[in-house]
């Protein structure tokens, strides 16, 4: 039996006694100070023996105290200060077994890459032939060049058996329709759906379009540089785990070598996404336990208690990626390797030259992962439960999928994600350029907006999506109106914290005795990178410009205010 430790409230009564209250069940006990100290060192969701071992270590208690500490925890569990995992799950209510609504769309985002789209459509046709399942395919074309849009239409014609619906964002009327219906928020609609201005990278434009066009439905989002042949995970993880995902990495000399380590898997990847997407947690939990060989890692922080409620459901699904890393040129993942990846690297030093110099890796988490947070990755396929309103994302920035997932987590704090235990190939036409230690990339304001929202959302008392979205919108509009001095300090705080975290993780690896010398030498080149300096000038150079952060905060806040009426209108319009 695993026991969850909620955010216990401790109120001292004297130097020797304390009143301890469990806010989940209103149990309150008066305990001696020593037992309070034991409880204060317990965290997560573990067996009582594991809790006792952790408390012993934290308190540096002698072995003779182990029986007393164990007895204390057993008594606290029996009296209700700790919560048994089945009782925590029971807070989600009873699943009624209702079937999930049909999948609304498999939406392919593409922009000026007709060869990649044709390759993806060919893999979709092969999947349809293998599985016999006909999916509702939609291509959302954000291409700027007319010849590429023409090539995309020709590719669709060659795969007529798929029955693809084509959405040409160069002529699509949704933006104009919404501006006519809601003239008071024309600027906001243009910010969400408008065409690129100059050299803008409008990654979020087709995503916002999909959220509106398929409002009230479940959808799968597919990027045009993916293919739909599932590959086996190289980690051989099989346990069902409940934890925030921490991606592991493997590196390969080329894609053929990656495929040897990750052989083809006979599953329909879209069906695996559809199986879990939108499922209430009360229904998903027993299925996850039944399908997995065992319950593995269970990491639940005290704040996760609020996610166990009748509204809890799986809003996002994603899978592993094999091939291109899928992130910008800065090697943040390599600088912050989890322990399992470090152990693998110590056993495979031949992979070291490929980590920073090639575009072929596997990225994912072992086994089937249920994550108590909203997390969206559209590197290959991402599932989005849009049956209940999700927030929009920024139209013209990188990291648009991360922003959507994190903001959804704040406005819908009962959101869960599932990470599926297979990979899909992710291959660009040309390898993504990786930054060297001497380069300084272009800073994006996405993480700044996310971190600011996290701090503010912790104080929100509202419980509905509309109210929480309105509160977050007000926070961003207020941020956009802040003085240059306030914004400079907030940006400095966020950037200093991020760089410090990177430096800490880099030093963890440099001090890790199991890592090969060659890996430490490669990391050593980053020690003096301009990205990792903490002096004031370097932090300012690494941070987004004040004007860019201000404009995005203000415009995103206004878009969040306008979004509920746009989403509701589209749900009725396209029902």
Sketch the domain layout of the chain as residue ranges: 3-90, 103-223, 231-428, 469-573
* Phi and psi torsions of 293, nearest 5°: -70, -35
Return the SS3 of 245: coil
Give the model's pLDDT for residue 505. Answer: 95
Dump strand ranges (E) for 89-239. 103-110, 137-141, 165-168, 218-223, 231-232
d(CA 371, CA 387): 20
By percentage, how much of the chain surpasses pLDDT 70?
96
Give the model's pLDDT for residue 438. Answer: 81
Give the model's pLDDT for residue 237. Answer: 61
d(CA 472, CA 255): 43
Give the model's pLDDT for residue 96. Answer: 80
Report pLDDT digits (tens) over 78-112. Answer: 999 999 999 999 999 987 878 899 999 999 999 99
Q: Could you tell me if 351 and 252 are in contact, meaning their C-beta atoms sit under 8 angstroms apart?
A: yes
Give the model's pLDDT for residue 238. Answer: 58
d(CA 394, CA 410): 16
Give the model's pLDDT for residue 240. Answer: 75
Q: Could you tell me if 107 and 222 are in contact, meaning their C-beta atoms sit under 8 angstroms apart?
A: yes
Give the model's pLDDT for residue 233. Answer: 87
Report pLDDT digits (tens) over 404-437. Answer: 999 999 999 899 999 999 999 998 877 776 778 8
Please give the structure tokens belonging to residue 405. 């997932």
By percentage, how much of the chain surpasses pLDDT 90?
73
Q: What mean pLDDT is predicted for residues 183-197?
A: 95
d(CA 136, CA 132): 13
Q: In this structure, are strands 368-371 and 231-232 parallel, antiparallel, or unpaired?
A: unpaired
* Residue 452 pLDDT class (50, 70, 90 cuts): very high
Q: Could you tell me if 418 and 368 are in contact, meaning their C-beta atoms sit under 8 angstroms apart?
A: yes
Answer with the residue of higher pLDDT: 199 or 296.
Answer: 199
Scored b (16 or more CB within 10 A) or e, 522-543 reads: bbeebeebebbbeeeebbeebb
Mean pLDDT check: name the lowest of 63-77, 431-445, 469-483, 541-555.
431-445
Answer with the residue of higher pLDDT: 295 or 552.
Answer: 552
Answer with the residue of higher pLDDT: 457 or 108.
Answer: 108
Answer with the residue of higher pLDDT: 291 or 345.
Answer: 345
Q: Is pLDDT of 228 > 60? A: yes
Contact residues for 562 (Cβ-Cβ < 8 A; gap 6+): 182, 185, 188, 189, 192
Q: What mean pLDDT is predicted for residues 353-364?
A: 84
Give the model's pLDDT for residue 552. Answer: 96
Give the model's pLDDT for residue 328. Answer: 62
Give the model's pLDDT for residue 279. Answer: 95
Give the model's pLDDT for residue 332. Answer: 86
CB-side neighbour CA atoms (13 Å) of 539: 16
State the chain's mean pLDDT as an integer.
91
Return the SS3 of 164: coil
d(CA 373, CA 389): 16
Give the model's pLDDT for residue 236. Answer: 65
Q: What mean pLDDT is predicted for residues 372-395?
A: 93
Q: Is pLDDT of 199 > 90? A: no
- Name residue, tokens 């999916």: 135
Report pLDDT digits (tens) over 277-332. Answer: 999 999 998 888 765 556 666 788 888 998 999 999 999 999 999 998 766 667 88
Q: In this structure, are strands 9-12 and 27-32 parallel, antiparallel, or unpaired?
A: unpaired
* Phi and psi torsions of 459, nearest 5°: -100, -5
* Phi and psi torsions of 359, nearest 5°: -115, 30
Q: What mean pLDDT is predicted for residues 223-237?
A: 88
Give the model's pLDDT for residue 294. Answer: 62
Answer with the residue of higher pLDDT: 113 or 298.
Answer: 113
Contact residues for 487 (Cβ-Cβ < 8 A; gap 6+): 479, 546, 549, 550
């Amino acid at each position: 039996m695993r026991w969850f430790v909620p955010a216990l409230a401790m109120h001292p009564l004297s130097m020797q006694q304390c009143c301890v209250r469990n806010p989940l069940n209103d149990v309150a006990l008066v305990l001696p100070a020593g037992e309070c100290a034991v409880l204060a060192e317990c965290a997560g969701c573990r067996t009582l023996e594991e809790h006792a071992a952790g408390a012993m270590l934290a308190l540096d208690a002698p072995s003779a105290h182990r029986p007393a500490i164990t007895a204390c925890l057993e008594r606290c569990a029996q009296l209700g200060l700790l919560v048994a995992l089945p009782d925590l799950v029971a807070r989600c209510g009873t699943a009624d077994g209702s079937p999930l609504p049909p999948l609304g769309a498999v939406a392919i985002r593409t922009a000026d890459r007709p060869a990649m789209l044709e390759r993806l459509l060919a893999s979709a046709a092969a999947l349809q032939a293998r599985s016999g399942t006909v999916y509702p395919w939609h291509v959302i074309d954000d291409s700027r060049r007319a010849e590429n849009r023409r090539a995309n239409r020709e590719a669709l014609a060659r795969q007529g058996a798929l029955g693809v619906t084509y959405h040409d964002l160069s002529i699509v009327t949704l933006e104009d329709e919404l501006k006519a219906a809601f003239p008071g928020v024309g600027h906001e609609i243009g910010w969400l759906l408008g065409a690129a201005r100059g050299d803008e990278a409008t990654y979020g434009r087709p995503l916002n379009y999909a959220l509106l066009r398929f409002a009230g439905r479940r959808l799968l989002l597919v990027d045009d540089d993916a293919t739909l042949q599932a590959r086996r995970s190289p980690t051989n993880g099989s346990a069902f785990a409940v934890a925030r995902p921490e991606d592991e990495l493997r590196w390969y000399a080329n894609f053929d070598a990656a495929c040897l380590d990750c052989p083809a898997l006979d599953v329909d990847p879209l069906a695996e996404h559809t199986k879990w997407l939108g499922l209430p947690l009360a229904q998903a939990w027993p299925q996850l336990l039944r399908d997995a060989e065992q319950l593995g890692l269970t990491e639940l922080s005290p704040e996760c208690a609020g996610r166990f409620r009748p509204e809890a459901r799986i809003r996002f699904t994603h899978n592993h990626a094999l091939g291109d890393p899928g992130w910008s040129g800065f090697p943040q993942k390599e600088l912050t390797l989890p322990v399992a990846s470090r152990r693998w690297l110590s056993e495979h030093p031949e992979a070291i030259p490929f980590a920073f110099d090639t575009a072929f890796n596997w990225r994912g988490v072992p086994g089937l992962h249920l994550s108590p947070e909203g997390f969206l990755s559209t590197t290959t396929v991402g599932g989005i439960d849009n049956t209940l309103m999700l927030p929009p994302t920024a139209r013209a920035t990188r990291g648009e999928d991360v922003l959507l997932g994190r903001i959804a987590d704040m406005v819908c704090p009962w959101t869960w994600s599932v990470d599926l235990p297979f990979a899909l190939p992710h291959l660009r036409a040309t390898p993504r350029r990786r930054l060297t230690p001497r380069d300084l990339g272009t800073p994006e304001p996405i993480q700044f907006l996310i971190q600011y929202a996290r701090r503010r959302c912790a104080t929100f008392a509202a419980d509905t999506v509309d109210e929480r979205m309105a509160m977050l919108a007000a926070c961003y509009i207020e941020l956009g109106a802040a003085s240059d001095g306030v914004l400079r300090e907030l940006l400095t705080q966020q950037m200093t914290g991020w760089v410090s975290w990177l430096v800490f993780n880099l030093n963890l690896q440099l001090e890790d005795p199991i890592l090969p010398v060659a890996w430490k030498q490669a990391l050593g080149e980053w020690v003096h990178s301009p990205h990792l300096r903490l002096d004031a000038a370097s932090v300012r150079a690494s941070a987004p410009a004040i004007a860019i952060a201000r404009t995005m905060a203000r415009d995103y806040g206004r878009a969040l205010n306008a979004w509920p009426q746009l989403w509701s209108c589209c749900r009725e319009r396209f029902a």
